[in-house]
């Protein structure tokens, strides 16, 4: 499948030829663990055992690699399983990582409580600030710079191309967690990143019905010592075994087919919700990369197709009002996660980011995060208006 084909053409066809034996146009769910060999070692299509490879998972991995413009995709049981496999593939004890100051809570918890006790140190940098990232690099020891953009939950934007240069100069690989933007709105590999990760649980799957992760490697990794990153990840994916199962792979693959149309609608709706929030008296601040007042709006405009479906905002009346507003909405679902067709609302300080309380990553207590779904936006705004008029 050529890179020249459009995004949705690749989403619907890459890695998904009609089934050779039946012509089935949807890739079958190969719910199987092992494969008949034609004589010892005579694997059909290379399939031997489903931890190593499974045809439904292969279709998803090939499709995702095509969407990110990468060389190879690796599907995992969750976003964090993919991140863990990636870190173990690329780093050894004594290495150092730069982690963003408003990373996904689970990502920070992973580096702080899992990687660090195993000898992988980290420093935290505000990734919206290129100089802060440069300053956080420990010469000779930093092997990986982790970037999330836009960030969760404050929608910070990192300049991927500028940070790629800094990382590469220091001999470190740049990993970009592209979960919030999705492969439709942003392709970090084209901007110089070496590896892209996703929680496919979010926009990629898009229907709040599957948990999964994806790692995609760049065609060319120029950082000395990491040229074989793809082989190392393939080895670790099989050796650790945190792979995506066939049904989960199939659900994610089905989600990807509509990613472009869903993202356009998420963006349309988010822009209107942002308009409403910026005009509401009870709101003290709105975080959205599409706002000209956003500190890195220019960077976001350069590296993203549009600005996404995630919006965060703060209430003048503080934490109590934020908690009450989250409980008062009817149509918005109070819940964690994001990126599904249905709109979600949450209070990061007590929910998704409770694990970073008391650390450098603590989030404001009066903050509300929205994952704007693809319902009729007038209904979404009306529901928010009712809740905010009472509590904000």
Ligand X SMILES: *Cc1c(COP(=O)(O)O)cnc(C)c1O
Residue closest to ligand X (Cβ)? 79
For position 335 contacting ligand X by CB under 6 A, the verdict is: no
Is 19 a known active-site residue?
A: no
CA separation for the pair 203, 182 (Å, rounded)? 6
For position 106 contacting ligand X by CB under 6 A, the verdict is: yes
For position 61 contacting ligand X by CB under 6 A, the verdict is: no
In whole angstroms, how close is the CB of 313 to ligand X at the nearest point?
18
CA separation for the pair 321, 326 (Å, rounded)? 9
Residue 55 to residues 27, 29, 59, 61: CA-CA distances in angstroms?
Answer: 8, 8, 6, 10
Stretch in the footprint of ligand X (CB under 6 A) among 2-10, 88-96, 100-108, 139-147: 100-108
Long-range contacts of 321-324 (CB under 8 A, 24+ apart): 321/282, 321/366, 321/391, 321/392, 322/347, 322/365, 322/366, 322/367, 322/368, 323/347, 323/350, 324/390, 324/391
Per CB under 6 A, contacts with ligand X among 170-189 are: 177, 179-180
Pick 58 or 107: Cβ nearer ligand X = 107
Contact indicator for 212, 203 with CB cutoff of 8 Å: no
For position 194 contacting ligand X by CB under 6 A, the verdict is: no
Contact indicator for 193, 218 with CB cutoff of 8 Å: yes
Which of 56, 78, 101, 204 is the binder for ligand X (CB under 6 A)?
Answer: 78
Contact indicator for 332, 273 with CB cutoff of 8 Å: no
Is 281 a known active-site residue?
A: no
Is 36 a known active-site residue?
A: no
84, 95, 102, 177: which is the annotated catalytic residue? 177
Which of 128, 211, 315, 329 is the binder for ligand X (CB under 6 A)?
Answer: 211
Is 104 a known active-site residue?
A: yes
In whole angstroms, how close is the CB of 106 to ligand X at the nearest point?
5
**Contacts of 22 by beta carbon, 8 Å cutoff, 6+ apart:** none
Counting residues that bind ligand X (by CB under 6 A) gives: 16
- The site for ligand X (CB under 6 A) is made up of 78-80, 104, 106-107, 148, 152, 177, 179-180, 199, 201-202, 211, 213
């Amino acid at each position: 499948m050529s890179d020249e084909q459009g995004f949705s053409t690749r989403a619907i066809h890459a890695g998904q030829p009609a089934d050779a034996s039946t012509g089935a146009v949807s890739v079958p769910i190969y719910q199987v663990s092992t494969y008949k060999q034609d004589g010892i070692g005579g694997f059909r299509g290379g399939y031997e055992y489903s931890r190593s490879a499974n045809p439904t998972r292969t279709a998803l991995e090939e499709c995702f690699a095509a969407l990110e413009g990468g060389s190879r995709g690796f599907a995992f049981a969750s976003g964090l399983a993919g991140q863990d496999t990636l870190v173990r593939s690329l780093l050894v004890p004594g290495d150092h990582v730069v982690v963003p100051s408003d990373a996904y809570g689970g990502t920070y918890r992973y580096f702080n409580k899992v990687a660090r006790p195993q000898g992988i140190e980290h420093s935290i940098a505000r990734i919206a600030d290129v100089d802060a990232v440069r300053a956080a690099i420990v010469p000779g020891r930093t092997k990986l710079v982790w970037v999330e953009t836009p960030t969760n939950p404050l929608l910070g934007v990192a300049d991927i191309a500028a940070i790629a240069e800094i990382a590469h100069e220091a001999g470190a690989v740049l990993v970009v967690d592209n979960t919030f933007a999705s492969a439709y709105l942003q392709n970090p590999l084209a901007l110089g990143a070496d590896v892209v990760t996703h929680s496919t649980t979010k926009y990629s799957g898009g229907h709040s019905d599957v948990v999964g992760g994806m790692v995609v490697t760049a065609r060319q990794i120029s950082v000395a010592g990491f040229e074989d990153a793809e082989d190392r990840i393939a080895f670790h994916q099989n050796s650790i075994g945190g792979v995506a199962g066939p049904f989960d792979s199939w659900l994610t693959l089905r989600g990807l087919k509509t990613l472009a149309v869903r993202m356009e609608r998420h963006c349309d709706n988010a822009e209107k919700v942002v308009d409403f929030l910026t005009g509401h008296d009870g709101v003290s601040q709105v975080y959205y990369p599409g706002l000209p007042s956003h500190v890195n709006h220019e960077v976001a405009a350069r590296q993203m197709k549009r600005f996404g479906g995630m919006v965060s905002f703060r209430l003048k009346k503080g934490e109590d009002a934020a908690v009450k507003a989250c409980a008062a909405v009817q149509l918005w679902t109070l819940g964690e996660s994001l990126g599904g067709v249905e709109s979600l609302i949450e209070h990061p300080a007590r929910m998704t980011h409770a694990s970073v309380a008391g650390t450098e990553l603590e989030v404001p207590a009066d903050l509300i995060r929205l994952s704007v779904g693809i319902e009729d936006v007038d209904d979404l705004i009306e529901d928010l208006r009712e809740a905010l008029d009472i509590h904000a």
